[in-house]
Amino acid sequence: MSKFNNYFSNLVEGLDPVGKEDKDINNDGKVDATDEYLSKRREAISQAIAKGKQEEEEAIKSGHDNKHNTALEIWDLLLNKKGYKPTEAIEIINLAKTAFEHLV
């Protein structure tokens, strides 16, 4: 048996069966601060993903999506922060749109 096969078989034996996970998240044989850290990190990531999905669903329900928000941000940047006139801003947006369409 090769070194890789030995390593792999030892690794697989150390993993918890699906649905029967225990508190030893990193499977080092002991439950310690590292496992607590990993547990909190996984929970935070799960919450962030759930929040992102919820915000996306709410945006879709309200009729606004990220493209709409991005367009408003660009418009605000050109008019308010860069000081362009509305006609100049429209021209810049149309040029950018044309350039993007040629790239895609």
Tens of pLDDT, residue by residue over 43-70, are 999 898 888 888 877 776 776 555 656 7
For the chain, the structural domain boundaries read 26-62, 65-104
The predicted pLDDT at position 25 comes to 84
Tens of pLDDT, residue by residue over 18-32, are 777 788 888 888 899
b/e map 2-13, b = 16+ CB within 10 Å? eeeeeeeeeeee
User: Residue 11 pLDDT more than 70?
Assistant: no
Full DSSP string of 63-100: T--HHHHHHHHHHHIIIIIS---HHHHHHHHHHHHHHH
